[in-house]
Amino acid sequence: MDPLAALRVDEEIEGRSARLAVRLNEYGYDPWGFHLGTFQRAMVLGRWFYRRYFRCDTVGAEKVPRGRVMLVANHSGQLPCDAAMLAMALFLECEPPRAVTGMVERLAARTPFVSEYFVRLGQMTGTPENCRQMFEEGRAVMVFPEGVRGLGKVWRDRYRLERFGGGFLRLCLECRTPIVPVGLAGFEESMPSFSQLRPLARLLGLPYLPLTPTLLPVPLPTRCYITFGDPIRFRGSPRDDDALIGKKVRRVAAEIDRLIQAGLSRRTSIF
């Protein structure tokens, strides 16, 4: 049963969905499991969070090129609300609208119900092969190189980027795909954590267990800022040595850090 089945798809969502560059069969599915009806209802709910709850201030969405592209962003906030709001920005602010494919952690792919629902929304397990297939179809792919290390960072480390791996950069070189860096600000304050409670998290089979002021996994309605940078088109071979790849990765990370600060500079208060 779809928990969003009661949501009514209105004219805005219907109209923007009709302009998505997605191949669907007669039942509304694409070859990878994306389902248009499920996606549309999720967009109705996501729009409320985007415009009313987090009141996202988005700048630069017009910079996202058509065709295959990789969106690379920072990650924070304990829950992937930042990823959901970035996906909403691509759907609501880009012309034409984009249905972004997020490369999600394997933990989500092993979680009952969540794994199936993610597939219906066009998300995929973050493997190189899945990413290549999306690029071949001209899709927009969303990645967070910090992974759970960024998502679960504690308060004292807010807005400090964790180390980026180089896999995303090698894939973009291999597939000749531009990178659009994105800075996300405000999500750090939506669910501040003061400890990862690692011993208890290990017992529960989780990467971390945030200790939040409310003791509840509920994000606060902080105002959030999404800032898109200019596309970066790297040259080189995906087989270049780590030093060369690392230099390019650091350039992406530095640009994301700059975009985070640009978002924070627009902020007048946390809420």
> Can you list the alpha helix ranges (DSSP code H) found in 126-222?
128-136, 147-151, 167-175, 198-203
What pLDDT score was predicted for residue 217?
85
- Predicted confidence band at 117 (pLDDT cuts at 50, 70, 90)? confident
Whole-Å CA distances, 18 to 38, 49, 158? 14, 22, 39
Pairwise pLDDT comparison (204 vs 10), residue with the higher score: 10
Give the chain's radius of gyration (CA, Å): 18
Task: Say yes or no to pLDDT of 1 above 70.
Answer: no
In this prediction the pTM is 0.94
Which residue is it, tokens 């499920």? 38
- Rounded to whole angstroms, how far apart are CA atoms 32 and 123? 9
The residues spanned by each domain of the chain are: 11-264
- Rounded to whole angstroms, how far apart are CA atoms 100 and 87? 6
Task: Say yes or no to pLDDT of 182 above 70.
Answer: yes
| Phi, psi for 264 (deg, rounded to 5) | -65, -30
**Which tens digits make up the pLDDT trace of 52-69?**
999 999 999 999 999 999
- Predicted confidence band at 109 (pLDDT cuts at 50, 70, 90)? low
Task: Say yes or no to pLDDT of 174 above 80.
Answer: yes
Class of domain 11-264: alpha beta
Task: Say yes or no to pLDDT of 108 above 80.
Answer: no
**Which tens digits make up the pLDDT trace of 69-107?**
999 999 999 999 999 999 999 999 999 999 999 998 877
**Which tens digits make up the pLDDT trace of 188-237?**
999 999 999 999 989 888 888 999 988 888 999 999 999 999 999 999 99
Task: Say yes or no to pLDDT of 41 above 80.
Answer: yes
